[in-house]
Structure 1
């Protein structure tokens, strides 16, 4: 009887130990499965994060200039710089020569989401917001007639000043545009004439001349201030108008005048307007990009300004020399003549101050950095 009792106890104890062992194993397996599932979930999150950080974007940029001009070649450089800085994640597709729309429709197209970016110009942007007319003003930057770099440095200095170019960029953001770069593709605009007999040495020698001006608010006022009459002629008709003496000359930029083979015989090195060619984009589109790609665009925009300075400075020196070799009379004004020009063109700056909201503040900034 005792044997049966002990055997029963032993059997019960053995069953209890087996049951406990199975329970611990079940708990261990369950815990292991939970850990493995958590690892899978964590890996899934990591893969998702990696996928997001490697997402690629394409921006559509339009401009109205031919492919041989700096306006386009600079955009090719800019697009390559953006692509390299972003490790291929950000691509800019360029549509030149007004393929998609005329230049004056690019800003509305950006705001409507038809395109993402534009390589515009200050005269075109002045039609969107008159604050851009500041770049059409005469003698706003100190310059050296024989050293293009002095003017270019001063223009960049204004562009980078908080209450100068950066103030304009801030105002554009309020209107839905992000200014990526305040670059340029040429020197300042000057007086060119079709004959050395009409060589302009000072404001008094421009009196009575018929000049083609870029139009807008400031150009005609500048011509009027030096005693000339102004007319607006479409770009496609300028060469004919010069050849047929419809006008005696025009206000334009030297690199354009030379590359376009305009029939001019004199060039007076005076800064009568100072256009820039900004890269602008939709603020909404800009803010939709990852922060690191926003930084890429800003850095590439700054790099573009320096690249433009180097290229334009070098090209200007070449063009001045080439014009002289080809028989164009290039006139470099004296300090006294520069002062006379500055005083004579004051009415254009007064008009800007009077007609443009915020104009007085920009002119004060210009004076403070001279």
Structure 2
């Protein structure tokens, strides 16, 4: 019991405020290690700001690294009230959020901060509130556009054929298959083992993951282009929100906005770019594609858009309108690739 109490104290992000000021404690669950950029430069600062803005009325207790449940379960954990707030990767549950999956299609954005704000606004206005109707959307949290990291040079779509690649999410897995490769779908912490055993020959990962998961020796060759995006979302249980006082609801509302999506994305983007610079300093191999190669990659991804349209249309959505709105939102935030 003493150990559990100590653990709870360690995991709590609590500002120095009088104990009597606290009105509510919200349990926030996520699935990344507590020391890496998504948590240290995104989730934690957001939680700290909520507590500060509420003058300590709201305390947030953070449970990292899947302590409360597996990563793919986090949406349901929030929807069912197992936790009050949860960090969700919609791409971990293929087919469940078809509108949101548009954000996973490669070569659409080259800036994650602008994209975070764009996705938050676009998704809220184009069916996202219905698609995630079980929860309250707080913020969108993409990493800087990720890259393709491999054992040998891969510079064109044709180079994927015959190679086994660990994809970031279901859409990237489909892309690998379309190009004749074999997707090796293992959780991020297991990627290094897959590479060391030869099960996989390449990965799609954000730059910071090269150090977070000790992959620098396994895949030292990098395709230096904004290859794809993986956007997590922070969501809140609706009953947990409804139970708050109007004053506390206002604090949460202020922190559940496109502006805050941009703020949390900035910290992660900065960390990813620092990691990219470090990889260069460490003498890793960077291949910059030619204009013709970029065009070939983008052309190769077009079937993914067609498939996305078919899925959204089959579920009653106006796919063309939603796609146009997404492109316009990216343009408006200087984030279109």
List runs of 5+ in structure 1 lacking aligned partners.
Answer: 1-53, 144-150
**CA–CA distance in structure 2, aligned partners of residues 338 and 154 of structure 1:** 21
**CA–CA distance in structure 1, aligned partners of residues 98 and 148 of structure 2:** 24
Indicate which of 182, 197, 203 corresponds to 2:157: 203
Mark the structure with the bigger radius of gyration: 1
Q: Deviations over 1:272-311 (max 9, x none)?
A: 4311121101123212322332221132244542333332
List runs of 5+ in structure 2 lacking aligned partners.
Answer: 1-20
Corresponding position: 1:278 with 2:242: no
Q: Structure 1 residues 337, 106: closer, same or farther in 2, change over 3 A?
A: same
Corresponding position: 1:180 with 2:138: yes
Corresponding position: 1:239 with 2:195: no
Q: 1:111-130 alignment to 2 at 5 Å?
A: 111-124=79-92, 126=94, 128-130=96-98
Q: Which portions of structure 1, spanning 4 or more consecutive aligned residues, are displaced by more than 6 angstroms?
A: none
Is the 2:25–2:61 Cα contact (8 Å) retained in structure 1? yes
**CA–CA distance in structure 2, aligned partners of residues 70 and 165 of structure 1:** 26
**CA–CA distance in structure 1, aligned partners of residues 326 and 290 of structure 2:** 22
Q: Deviation of residue 238 (structure 1)?
A: 1.9
Structure 1 equivalent of residue 182 of structure 2 = 229
Is the 2:100–2:128 Cα contact (8 Å) retained in structure 1? no
Of 62-71 and 87-96, deviating more is 62-71
Q: Deviations over 1:116-149 (max 9, x none)?
A: 11022232355643333222211122x3xxxxxx
Q: Deviation of residue 335 (structure 1)?
A: 3.0
TM-score by length of 1: 0.74
Of 79-88 and 292-301, deviating more is 292-301
Q: Deviations over 1:136-171 (max 9, x none)?
A: 211122x3xxxxxxx12441342243x445435422
Q: Structure 1 residues 128, 286: closer, same or farther in 2, change over 3 A?
A: farther
Q: Deviation of residue 338 (structure 1)?
A: 1.8
Indicate which of 75, 84, 89 corresponds to 2:52: 84
Of 298-307 and 65-74, deviating more is 298-307
Matched residue count: 302
**Greater fraction of residues in helix:** 1
Is the 1:58–1:93 Cα contact (8 Å) retained in structure 2? yes
Structure 2 equivalent of residue 97 of structure 1 = 65
SS in 2 for 1:180: strand
